[in-house]
Amino acid sequence: MKGKKVLVTGGCGYIGSHTLVDLIQNDFEVLSVDNLSNAYAKSLDGVENITGKKVKNINIDLADAAACDQLFKDHPEIEGVIHFAALKAVGESVEKPFWYFKNNLNSLLNVADCCVKYGVNSLIFSSSCSVYGNATDLPVTEDTPFMEAESPYARTKQMGEQMLTDICHRFKDLNVILLRYFNPAGAHSSNEIGEEPIKAGLNLIPVITETAIGIREKTMVYGSDYDTRDGSCIRDYIHVMDLANAHTKAVEYLFDKRQESNCEVYNLGIGEGVSVLEAIQAFESESGKKLNYVLGPRRAGDVVSIYSNYEKAADRLGWQPKFGIKEIMRTAWNWEVKRSKLEKV
């Protein structure tokens, strides 16, 4: 594996930057592509501080077919691609569906097209547990059928998977792994990188930490009357470094030619459901701070309850999550505290 180059699209983003760290620490060469529409280039400084390796970022929009083609033409040394680059906010996708479909689907098509055209035979697609919709049988497995998508964002993930499946039927040399994430959270233990979107944080954990640090006045709990144990939505939170390592394992799996078919799918979660209110309790316990939160109405696009069965990833990829909700909250809070101190300097 040593020295093989992996292209990481969305490499300056939250999951992308943590995955760069894990890839480098497992002896891969890396190249980042990110148009910085919702990420900061300085995240690569954090990657360098952790790994001692300077990572190059190419600032292009992968939804631009010509720019994407030029990227692959200029870098024939690329042997695998991890495709993170996408818009990802559920609520925003409900408000701006055209933007989500144009960006997420066109960028994926362009990347897949270039993989085939330039003989890059290993592609990892960043999918999501949102493809399952409001699944009735929990935990979900990779064989759980798709339910109706609850948002345009979720629809782009369903469509992305289906497009890649069809492409793989035609192009047998292209090997694809579809990784269905549950809810990434937390930060690297060094505090060098963490979740730092340009737009206001929309995911629960950064909303909690931003409230606790004083950036936000309060945390809104969207819905307290769901059919769950405490009335709030239930999610499967996975530490971002566990998620990053799964991508490294997936790349190694493809490079070793261990796949059973040229399009495989894996769930990535910790296999436990945590409600919004339980997550808040875990944060208060780990941080020692009381959170100002209020119970509000349901939010469009939200799934009631979802958590994973990840046995397939454990068996075939050799992947196991190491961290739980306590470590997620502890590292997320430590990162938020550091961010706050830096902003005051």
Least Cα distance to 240 among 4, 36, 20, 9 occurs for 20
pTM over 0.85: yes
Q: Regarding predicted confidence, which is higher, 91 or 343? A: 91
Q: Are 84 and 16 in contact (CB under 8 A)?
A: yes
Mean per-residue pLDDT for 281-294?
97
DSSP state letter for 129 = G
Q: Map out the domains of the chain as residue ranges.
A: 5-187+238-269
CA angle 188, 33, 341 (to 5 degrees): 35
Least Cα distance to 223 among 292, 300, 281 occurs for 300
Over residues 81-92, the pLDDT tens digits come to 999 999 988 889
**What is the predicted pLDDT for the residue at 261?**
97
**What is the predicted pLDDT for the residue at 345?**
44
Over residues 119-173, the pLDDT tens digits come to 999 999 999 999 999 888 899 999 999 999 999 999 999 999 999 999 999 999 9
Least Cα distance to 267 among 309, 322, 234, 305 occurs for 309
For residue 152, say if its preceding peptide bond is cis, omega within 30 degrees of 0. no
50 pLDDT higher than 60: yes
Least Cα distance to 339 among 187, 203, 220 occurs for 187
Helix axes 14-25, 43-51, angle to 10 degrees: 20
**What is the predicted pLDDT for the residue at 343?**
64
Q: What's the topology of domain 5-187+238-269?
A: Rossmann fold (3.40.50)
Share of the chain above pLDDT 90, in %: 89
Strands 234-235 and 274-275: antiparallel
Two tokens, residue 155: 């629809």
Q: Are 83 and 108 in contact (CB under 8 A)?
A: yes
Options 100, 132, 153, 307, the catalytic residue = 153
Over residues 195-205, the pLDDT tens digits come to 987 776 678 99
Known catalytic residue: 222? no
Number of other residues whose CB lies within 10 A of the CB of residue 186? 27
What pLDDT band is residue 114 in, cutting at 50, 70 and 90? very high
Number of other residues whose CB lies within 10 A of the CB of residue 304? 16
How many whole angstroms separate alpha carbon 191 and alpha carbon 337? 9
Q: Which amino acid is at 101?
A: F
Q: Could you give the C-alpha distances from 204 to 155, 178, 236, 279, 306, in angstroms and in order? A: 21, 24, 12, 9, 15
